[in-house]
Amino acid sequence: MIHPMRPVIVAGNWKMHTTPAEAGDLARTIGARTRVDGVTRVLCPPFVCLAAVGAAVSGPEVAAPDGTGIAVGAQDVHHELAGAYTGSTSAAMLAGLATWTIVGHSERRRDDCETDEQIGRKLLAARSAGLRVILCVGEQLADRDAGRAVSVVDRQVRGCLAAADPGALGADADGPRLTIAYEPVWAIGTGRNARGADAAEMAGAIRAALASLGFANAGEDIPILYGGSVSSANIDEFMTEPSIDGALVGGASLKPDEMAGIVARAGLTAQGRAAGLASRRKRRP
User: What is the predicted pLDDT for the residue at 78?
Assistant: 98
Task: Write out 153-198 in H/E/C secondary structure.
Answer: HHHHHHHHHCCCCHHHCCCECCECCEEEEECCHHHCCCCCCCCHHH
Tell me the Cα Rg of the chain: 18
CA 141, distance to chain mean position in Å, is: 22
Please list, in sequence order, all residues whose beta carbon lies within 8 angstroms of the beta carbon of residue 208, skipping any fewer than 6 positions away: 154, 219
What size, in residues, is the chain?
Answer: 285
User: What is the predicted pLDDT for the residue at 193?
Assistant: 83
Q: How far apart are CA 106 and CA 135, in angstroms?
A: 10
Smallest Cα–Cα separation from 90: which of 106, 104, 74?
74
Alpha-carbon dihedral 187, 190, 191, 197, rounded to 10 degrees? -10
Q: Across the strands, what pairs with 101?
A: 74, 133
User: What is the predicted pLDDT for the residue at 1?
Assistant: 36
Q: Catalytic positions, please?
A: 105, 183
Ramachandran angles phi, psi of 93, nearest 5°:
-70, -30
DSSP string, 224-246: EEE-SS--TTTHHHHHTSTT--E
What's the angle, vertex CA 155, arms to CA 15 and CA 221, rounded to 5? 75
Question: Which regions in the chain score pLDDT beneath 50?
Answer: 1-2
Q: Residue 236 is which amino acid?
A: D
Residue 15, number of CB atoms within 10 A of its CB? 16
Please list, in sequence order, all residues whose beta carbon lies within 8 angstroms of the beta carbon of residue 211, skipping any fewer than 6 positions away: 218, 219
Q: How far apart are CA 233 and CA 7, in angstroms?
A: 22
User: What is the predicted pLDDT for the residue at 285?
Assistant: 61
* Domains by residue range for the chain, with CATH: 8-76+92-279 (3.20.20.70)
For helices 149-161 and 116-128, give the axis angle rounded to 10 degrees. Answer: 40
Q: How far apart are CA 235 and CA 256, in angstroms?
A: 15
- Are 225 and 181 a contacting pair, CB within 8 Å? yes
Smallest Cα–Cα separation from 196: which of 226, 162, 153, 160?
226
